Amino acid sequence: MSKDLAETALIDQHIYKGFHPHEGPQDVYECHICGYYHLTSKSLSRNERLQEMIDSGEMKKKQEAQRWERF
Ligand SMILES: [Zn+2]
């Protein structure tokens, strides 16, 4: 996974699973074994793109929309 794709996957997880900001994966990292990016919940910092979506209220909106689609 490229960094961009990994970040998109990170954000999708938060949308579809309805995580609170501190729950679930927090960032992406480059794996030394396979060279691709993976998600991590152990990062001390939150991914910038994820943080921006949370700050702007976009994450809440998308989570809300997703909740309605499920029923
Ligand atoms: Zn790997």
pLDDT tens-digit series, residues 1-29: 799 999 999 999 999 999 999 999 999 99
Q: How far is the CA of 39 from the centre of ligand 1 (A)?
A: 10
Using CA atoms of 18, 10, 8, 65 in order, give the dihedral in degrees to the nearest 10.
0
pTM for this prediction: 0.89
Residue 70 has pLDDT above 80, yes or no: no
Residue 58 has pLDDT above 90, yes or no: yes
User: What residues does the ion ligand 1 have nearby, CB within 5 Å?
Assistant: 31, 33-34
Residues 19 and 12 sit within 8 Å (Cβ to Cβ): no
Is the pLDDT at 61 greater than 70? The verdict is yes
Residue 62 pLDDT greater than 90, yes or no: yes
* Ligand 1 centroid distance, CA of 38 (Å): 7
Centre of ligand 1 from the C-alpha of residue 29, in Å: 9
C-alpha 34 to ligand 1 mean position (Å): 4
